[in-house]
Structure 1
Amino acid sequence: MKHWKTLQNGINLLILLCLAVLILCPLFMIFARAVIIDGRPDFSYALNIIFNPENLRTITNSLLLGAAVVLVTTILGIPFAYLITRTQLAKHKWIDIVIMIPFMTPPFISSMGFILFMQKNGLLQQLFPFTGRLSESFFSFWGLVLVMSLHVLPFMISILKNAMLNISSSLDEAGQIFGGNFFYRFRRILAPLLSGNYAIGALLVFVKTLSEYGTPATFGTRIGFYVFTTDIHRHSTTSPIDFGKAASLSSVLVLICILMWMLQNTVTARHTYRLVGGKGSRSIQKKLPVFQSILAWGYLLLIFFMSIGIPYFSIIMTSLIKLRGYGLQAGNFTLAHYAALFSANSKGRNAIFTSLFLAFAAAFIASAIGVVIVLTARRKKAAFLSQILEGISLLPEMLPSIVLVIGIMLFWNLLYPVLPLYNTLGIMILTYVVLYLPYAVQYTTSAFIQLGDSLVQAGRTFGGSGFYIFRTITFPLIFRGILTGFMMIFIISFRELVAASMVAPPSTLTVSTFIMREFEQGSVSVGCAMAVICVFLTTGILMALKYVSSKGNGQE
């Protein structure tokens, strides 16, 4: 027994060392690079960078953009969530699937779709020539806010929807009995009960906006609006490279995210109400009059048109156009751009194979590490050391991905003389594993906590070893959670942009960097063809995963 406990502690220390090398050391390198100059601490260098007028403008832009996106997602999300929970529209379950499509779409691809649709002589002007000034005025700060809001809107809607489903309709009926109109009841009953969940959604939207790179890099740079991510990327990849500035801005971004998490926890603690109890609750779907029903459907369809219709129409049509100068005209459509991606010696084909390899390798390794972490940290007699493993593994989810990528670049560049992993495909796989390890841990944990102790105890009673019990009992029962985490990591890694553009070896292209390069070089139709393949491949995999999961649940 003593030897077994010693072995467990050794495994815990080994996992902790692995997580320290993968996550903690890169984070430490960011702060160290920002304040250690010539081998000694010097905070003046970091402060001079932060308070530089240009960098102050970047920080202000980022905070302003985050606040504006939270505002717009709130305005769009609350009516949407109310309609699909409190009216007859709630019976249409397909709405829940469709609203998640913007999340499945890489944000930089959606941004490119809006650019192609709204730019001068773009698709909108070709269809409706009288919209010239209207479409071109879209390229502004609020245009950027709208594009980014439509991408993160599903997060806000999902959180608000789940919160509204837990609020009993009897509370609203009580207010109505005492003469309160709709707006009074919403302000005095529904809004206070939603405040805790709304704080979580607002924080999630704010942090995702601050950490997003694709849309600011495509749409934001077009209007001259620079934020944290674009400046950090520029300082770390464009000559003259200055990791000091990148590290200083990354440190500020991390501190802002930490402060926002603390603020959210405070708000949630003060405004959380126990809405689900032993008495249960009921949610009544109000039947809207004909005119209000038409307005409700019109609102939902408008959201779908803006978040799905415009970007998908733009990307698909542009990928089929033979000569962009002729636009949407009969006879000016071709499949040659798709064929070019798979021709002999095609960089597009190589980019697809590279992305598939990286995504599979990262998903496999992250899933394996996630299983080990969950099995170690979820033991009932786990020591304190075991319990903190899960917390460290979830840390990348709370931090902007570009910050972790900068830390990985600094740390592994320092280790290059000892372990020459930098500038290889190995560093890309390692970066993907660090960024998406939380998915593996969360999905495996979700499956593991549903297991009863009786099954494992039965295996031990009949003399099964620990490995035998894991192989024949535990693993089959948590396999669906592992598979779900694997597929989510595969999908997101396949279309990853920030890490691929920063740590990829020279002349190595992935799907995302290939698309960006084609747009920058003017081969827009070829880039759109690759974008269509990327979107439909990842969306198809996710839909298949949902189908398999639902089928498996039905069989149980």
Structure 2
Amino acid sequence: MRAAGMARGMRAGGMGRASPLAPLTVAALLVLVALPVLFVVLQAVFPRLGAGSLAAPFSALGPALADPRLPGLLGNTLALGLSVVALSAVIALPLGACRALFRIPLAPLWDLLFLLPFMLPPYIATLGWIAALQPRGYLQQLVGFNLAGFLFSMPGIAVVIALHAFPVVYFAVSRTLEAVGGRLADVARVFGASPWRAFGRVTLPLAWPGLAASLLLVFAMAVEEYGTPAALGRSFGFEVLVTAIDHRVSDWPIDLPGAATLSLILVLLSVAAFALQWRLLARRSFETTAGKPQPLNKRPLGRWAVPVLGGFTVAAILATLLPIAAILAAALARRVSGGLALNNLGLQNFAAILGEGSDAWQALLNSLLLGLAAALLTGVLGTAAAVLMVRGQMRGRAALDALAMLPNALPGIVVAVGLILAWNQPALPITPYNTPLILILAYGCILLPYPLRYAQAALRQIGPNLEAAARVSGATPWRVMLRVLVPLMAPSLVAAMLLVFAVAARELVASLLVAPVGMLTVAGFIWRQFEQGSVGVGMAMAFVALAVTTLLPLTVLAVLRRAEQP
């Protein structure tokens, strides 16, 4: 009790209102998160904001909302998002439930194979699918027909995005069902419930919060995805809100008020999805009343072994092996028209991007450095915000938490538009616009929630006694945080920062919209090669980037785990 009291005193005096940590963290969050959103709203309300004028407020909202194309854009976006959610659920629910409830042969291998699609950027996977399914693509070379008609359609776009997004639901379902345990379902079986009834009425409702959260995340990923609709939808006139925003920002004449209005609609769509999740969870809340569930006793598959393993195999082939194989085949092709013949395979494309003087080297180095900077920025800011929210006693912690998590509801293109509007004002004496710092700000805003949530979860598992002991020994609040809290949070925080690094190093939308003139990133290099028709060079760069940004974090994690072992 005495230690807990001292810890409360430390939090009130050290991490409270008097600490400089609070104003610095709040100021950083306002600049990183609130400022882009504010300028999106201001630009939608004041169409002449770019000229430094607040005249004619709301004059651009009417024409933008009355645009006859808007219902189609909104309908396409909703249809795509809901289709991806449905497809992801169809793929992930049975696989995740089987992974949790039964003894699956080679279970860690399936988890690894399903993790790779999430690590594979969707726009890169899309390029692989184009190479495989287009006319005279790899599928037609092997079996005599192509699936271009399906790929270049709204269902095709939904399938490609779902094959990237379903691991989010798979891991959420499998881990949640394992955590729920099997004791309550076994009790239902004793009282006469069939296996399906016990699963549907006991096990699945207890897993509902994790399932709902994962499906919401999939919807948000689908409605903000730019690369797949842009690459596949252009050929048949399919446009969604994200691609329409890009056209208004990138194509002449520039329409910043229209882009801001569409950005607000996209944000409201994401916020509405979050509100729906909260409402569903509030109306359908399930919890156990008999203590912690016992570990789940997984059952053998029995006669279901062949169909279940067949499902895992098909999902792994479609989501992981085929896209990567298509990317590698295109990267090794001497000529795109040469096909899969052995005499058409070589390392010329890799030599082109790795040779001296190639732009690819600089693009890769730029992306790695930007990813590292974004990881450090979000790690430091996420740690500071987590300490304030969990250990601090300042007022407004709920509002601070909401501000820090706002990027969850902000599509990347909205962040990019907001940064353009905020930092391209003529009255600013100095600005990060057209410098690498603008990309770091973009990546930091988009990816801040990852380190924040990891840091909060780790901090809640650390009792107050160690902090109290350090304060009794004369340590200042800053020294307690740096020498006690941060080292204990380090494993979770490093994992989150590595995830930020991997995602930021190949992020597409912000890289295309706000990258400084003349500065190439991995995503920009690949996209430019694809648009110029240099498919082989672009695919080689995609494969190298995938290997580097996947293997480097995994290597760091392996080294850290080995260092922790006695």
Same fold by TM (over 0.5)? yes
How many Å apart are 1:40 and its aligned residue? 4.7
Alignment partner, residue 461 of structure 1: 472
Q: 1:68 aligns with which of 55, 79, 83?
A: 83
Decide whether aligned partners of structure 1 residues 4 and 534 sit closer, same or farther in structure 2, where only a CA change above 3 A counts. closer
Give the TM-score of the pair, scaled to structure 2.
Answer: 0.91
How many Å apart are 1:99 and its aligned residue? 1.1
Check the 8 A contact 2:29/2:403 in 1, yes or no. Answer: yes
- What does the per-residue CA deviation read over 1:293-318, in whole Å, with 9 as the maximum and x for residues that have no partner? 11111111000000001110000011
Decide whether aligned partners of structure 1 residues 416 and 513 sit closer, same or farther in structure 2, where only a CA change above 3 A counts. farther
Matched, 1:268 2:281: yes
How many Å apart are 1:263 and its aligned residue? 0.9
Alignment partner, residue 340 of structure 1: 352
Decide whether aligned partners of structure 1 residues 168 and 15 sit closer, same or farther in structure 2, where only a CA change above 3 A counts. closer
Secondary structure of the corresponding residue to residue 89 of structure 1: coil
Alignment partner, residue 4 of structure 2: none
Alignment partner, residue 144 of structure 1: 157
What is the rounded CA distance, in whole Å, between the counterparts of 2:14 and 2:102 in structure 1?
A: 58
Q: 2:113 aligns with which of 75, 79, 98?
A: 98
Alignment partner, residue 21 of structure 1: 31
Check the 8 A contact 2:15/2:388 in 1, yes or no. Answer: no
Runs of 4+ in 1 over 6 A off after TM superposition: 1-7
Decide whether aligned partners of structure 1 residues 183 and 473 sit closer, same or farther in structure 2, where only a CA change above 3 A counts. closer
Q: 1:157 aligns with which of 139, 164, 170?
A: 170
Matched, 1:327 2:339: yes
Alignment partner, residue 494 of structure 2: 483
Matched, 1:535 2:550: no
Decide whether aligned partners of structure 1 residues 5 and 99 sit closer, same or farther in structure 2, where only a CA change above 3 A counts. closer
Deviates more, 1:244-253 or 1:445-454: 445-454
What is the rounded CA distance, in whole Å, between the counterparts of 1:177 and 1:515 in structure 2?
A: 58
Alignment partner, residue 378 of structure 2: 366
Alignment partner, residue 80 of structure 1: 95
Size of the alignment, in residue pairs? 551
Give the TM-score of the pair, scaled to structure 1.
Answer: 0.92
Matched, 1:422 2:433: yes
Check the 8 A contact 1:200/1:268 in 2, yes or no. Answer: no
Alignment partner, residue 251 of structure 1: 264
Check the 8 A contact 2:83/2:158 in 1, yes or no. Answer: yes
Check the 8 A contact 1:120/1:135 in 2, yes or no. Answer: yes
What is the rounded CA distance, in whole Å, between the counterparts of 1:447 and 1:331 in structure 2?
A: 54
Any residues of structure 2 matched to 1:135-534 within 5 Å, and which? 136-176=149-189, 181-275=194-288, 277-278=290-291, 280-290=293-303, 292-380=304-392, 382-386=393-397, 388-414=399-425, 417-534=428-545
What is the rounded CA distance, in whole Å, between the counterparts of 2:417 and 2:491 in structure 1?
A: 33
How many Å apart are 1:495 and its aligned residue? 0.4
Q: CA RMSD in A?
A: 2.5
Q: In structure 1, list runs of 5 or more residues that go unmatched.
A: none
Check the 8 A contact 2:330/2:539 in 1, yes or no. Answer: yes
What is the rounded CA distance, in whole Å, between the counterparts of 1:471 and 1:163 in structure 2?
A: 33
How many Å apart are 1:419 and its aligned residue? 1.5
Check the 8 A contact 2:14/2:477 in 1, yes or no. Answer: no
What is the rounded CA distance, in whole Å, between the counterparts of 1:254 and 1:516 in structure 2?
A: 26
How many Å apart are 1:8 and its aligned residue? 2.4
Aligned residue identity for 1:112 = L
- What does the per-residue CA deviation read over 1:267-310, in whole Å, with 9 as the maximum and x for residues that have no partner? 012222113742633423232334x2111111110000000011
Deviates more, 1:403-412 or 1:437-446: 437-446
What is the rounded CA distance, in whole Å, between the counterparts of 1:124 and 1:389 in structure 2?
A: 51
Secondary structure of the corresponding residue to residue 384 of structure 1: coil
Deviates more, 1:188-197 or 1:370-379: 188-197
Decide whether aligned partners of structure 1 residues 12 and 166 sit closer, same or farther in structure 2, where only a CA change above 3 A counts. closer
What is the rounded CA distance, in whole Å, between the counterparts of 1:334 and 1:237 in structure 2?
A: 37
How many Å apart are 1:319 and its aligned residue? 0.4
Q: Percent identity?
A: 29
Alignment partner, residue 3 of structure 2: none
Decide whether aligned partners of structure 1 residues 299 and 318 sit closer, same or farther in structure 2, where only a CA change above 3 A counts. same
Check the 8 A contact 2:458/2:489 in 1, yes or no. Answer: yes
Alignment partner, residue 12 of structure 1: 22
How many Å apart are 1:260 and its aligned residue? 1.2
Decide whether aligned partners of structure 1 residues 63 and 338 sit closer, same or farther in structure 2, where only a CA change above 3 A counts. same
How many Å apart are 1:89 and its aligned residue? 0.9
How many Å apart are 1:144 and its aligned residue? 1.0
Q: In structure 2, list runs of 5 or more residues that go unmatched.
A: 1-9, 49-53
What is the rounded CA distance, in whole Å, between the counterparts of 2:106 and 2:342 in structure 1?
A: 41
Alignment partner, residue 124 of structure 2: 109
Aligned residue identity for 2:409 = M
What is the rounded CA distance, in whole Å, between the counterparts of 1:276 and 1:221 in structure 2?
A: 54
What is the rounded CA distance, in whole Å, between the counterparts of 1:465 and 1:553 in structure 2?
A: 28
